[in-house]
Structure 1
Amino acid sequence: MSRSRDYLTLADIIGIYSVLMKRYGGASGIRDQGALEAAVLRPQASYYGDEFEEAAALMESLAVNHPFVDGNKRIAFAAADVFLRINGWRLEGDPNQFFNHIIQMLETKNFKRETLGPWLKKHAKQIN
């Protein structure tokens, strides 16, 4: 039996995005409201096996579908990280290595839920 999970809302994602844009800069704004709403709802589909697959689905949708004007890779990673944290997991590792790996996955067209889920799980530690 799978446990109940907490999910990020549209307001959560926009709030995280706002913080990231203030901190790191870039052109801010929503480019595609529909893509953003779909990304927020995607992890809640019943066919994902665990929270890592759900985080990967969120991450993939935000990075690949570009719902924001700028900062899509940043929000993708941050949203997946926050999603895992609110569900009892923390990603551990060097942020620069995470960033480099994400860029490498994107450049090699390997940035997919199927590869992201195991990668997130490999770097996660249960916190509760």
Structure 2
Amino acid sequence: MSWQWVQRDTVFAVHDKQLAVHGGLSGVRDLNAIESALNRALNRHTYGNPPPDVADLAAAYVYGIATSHGFSDGNKRTAWVIGRLFLAINGAPLKFTEVDAINFMLAVAAGDLTEQQVAQWIRQRLDRP
């Protein structure tokens, strides 16, 4: 499959929008951590064995952004939106409740879920016909 990747500029725009809407500290805490988080999905695609599915790649974005803490604030919010954006542009939107999503992202950021568990959570909620 030919995947549509989320671009770096889009991630920064999403982060800025999340802060504008919901508040928080602006700024980058660790640019290398952000770059690493963004490359995580591409690395999974390139080197994954077995080849990753859309949930695995979305999980790489979500887990990478949420746990790297590259931004001063808004990491969980940015991770959530970027994960959903990746799924949407690749034809795999999610079905979820707001409470479910909040609890999920809190667990991801707290380190309570592995990247594989994040992928499984996403896989179970893919809104496919």
Normalising by the residue count of structure 1, what TM-score does the alignment of the two structures yield? 0.89
Q: Is 1:102–1:111's contact at 8 Å kept on the other side of the alignment?
A: no
Gaps of 5+ in 1: none
Gaps of 5+ in 2: none
Q: Is 1:89–1:125's contact at 8 Å kept on the other side of the alignment?
A: yes
Q: How far 1:105 moved relative to its partner? A: 4.6
CA offsets 1:21-66 (integer angstroms, 9 cap, x no match): 1110000111111111111111011115111111111111111110
CA 1:38–1:87: 2 relative to 1, 3 Å: same
What percent of counterpart residues are identical?
Answer: 26
Q: Following the alignment from structure 1 to structure 2, what is the Cα–Cα distance between the partners of residues 56 and 62? A: 10
User: 3-state SS of the aligned residue for 2:93?
Assistant: strand
The aligned amino acid for 1:40 is L
Q: What's the Cα RMSD here?
A: 1.5
Whether 1:64 aligns to 2:62 is no
Number of aligned residue pairs: 124
Query: Counterparts in 2 of 1:1-128, with a 5 A limit?
Result: 3-45=1-43, 46=46, 47=48, 48-107=51-110, 109-126=111-128
Structure with higher helix content: 2
The aligned amino acid for 1:115 is Q
Normalising by the residue count of structure 2, what TM-score does the alignment of the two structures yield? 0.89
Q: How far 1:98 moved relative to its partner? A: 1.1
Structure with higher strand content: 1
